[in-house]
Amino acid sequence: MKISKLLAALAVAGMVASPMAAYSQVQTAKPTKQVAAGKKAEKPDFSFLNGKTGTMTYSVWSEESLTAMMNAQHGIRLNKFVYADSIAGGLAMLKSDRADFMMTTDITANYIIQRNPELKSVLYSEDMGLTMLLRAADVKLMDSLNSAISKLKASGKIDELYKKWVKELPVGQEPAMAKIEKTAYPETVYVGVSGDMPPLDYVAADGKPAGYNIALLAEISKLLGKNIEVVSIDSPARLAALQSKKIDVFFWQRMPKYHGQRKEYKGVSMQDIKNFSKNFILTKPYCPVKTVLLMKK
């Protein structure tokens, strides 16, 4: 079920907020106490996750590795992680108490909370970035995408797109589809979109990809002189689709601060990291985000 359909169902049940006039700030509560200036910040306390079950859309790690990583990093006893096939599936798990929290971005959490006021978000990690994932062999394409991202940042276009498609998107309006113009060039880049990070990565009720990332791809297509074809793909199938060359690019999330510093991934199999690094490469981030835990109030 696409997120727009799930939200419509929740609206019928009286669980969606009335439309608001404008975009509001993320409802994020930090699980740490404020400290006086000059004092060392306290280590975040995530003990409230002891015995809890989490969910999120599929990642490179196994459910067991992700659970072990969180437990090792924060000294907690998280029960387990259960991957959801989609953001709509994760929300359904959260609302039916099959999961106690869902891990997502602050932007997506804000989008969901505006439509579901019974939910809240708790900050988990800062310094994240949205990026694009490619096959390791496609270095030339990665360089082209990085060049386009740099030009769009320098011109202010990325900020303009963010303002239109994220910051000022009315609650009563779902993301629309930006038109990606066809070019005379023969080369086509196939980009996978799952719809699991609205309003950034979004798939409308009619099955057509829309939102911020599509608008960004339209601008990138103009700069690169390449045709870009968007392919809707389920989250669990994205890595396999990249490796089998069904798609060339997929949107991803990374932590720039720790990228390449494998020692930081406590509790995760080193082989998992080696396999990922061997098979895939990432563009530079084009949109900063934070990771939050979405849960009931």
65-83 pLDDT, tens digit each:
889 888 988 899 999 999 9
In this prediction, residue 16 has a pLDDT band, given cuts at 50, 70 and 90, of very low
Lowest mean pLDDT among 158-162, 172-176, 252-256: 252-256
Residue 119 contacts residue 113 (beta carbons within 8 Å)? yes
| Spatial contact of 110 and 292, defined as CB atoms under 8 Å apart | no
3-state secondary structure the chain: CCHHHHHHHHHHCCCCCCCCCCCCCCCEECCCCCCCCCCCCCCCCCHHHCCCEEEEECCCCCHHHHHHHHHHHHCCCCCEEEEECCHHHHHHHHHCCCCCEEEEEHHHHHHHHHHCCCEEEEEEEEEEEEEEEEECCCHHHHHHHHHHHHHHHHHCHHHHHHHHHHHCCCCCCCCCCCCCCCCCCCCEEEEEECCCECCCEEECCCCCEECHHHHHHHHHHHHHCCEEEEEECCHHHHHHHHHCCCCCEEEEEECCCCCCCHHHCCCCCHHHHHHHHHHEEECCCCEEEEEEEEEEC
- What digits encode the pLDDT tens for the residues 246-276? 999 999 987 544 444 444 455 555 666 677 7
| Model confidence at 6: pLDDT above 50 | no
Confidence category of residue 30, pLDDT binned at 50, 70, 90: very low
**Domains delineated in the chain:** 3-126 (3.40.190.10), 129-288 (3.40.190.10)
pLDDT tier at 20, thresholds 50, 70, 90? very low
pTM, rounded to two decimals: 0.80
Rounded (5°) CA angle 73-291-59: 75
For the ranges 9-23, 75-89, 110-124, the lowest mean pLDDT is seen at: 9-23
Q: When comparing pLDDT for 3 and 91, which is higher?
A: 91
Question: What span, in angstroms and rounded, lies between the C-alpha atoms of 65 and 276?
Answer: 14
Comparing 23 with 289, which gets the higher pLDDT? 289
Q: Is the pLDDT of residue 101 over 90?
A: yes
What pLDDT is attached to residue 79?
Answer: 97
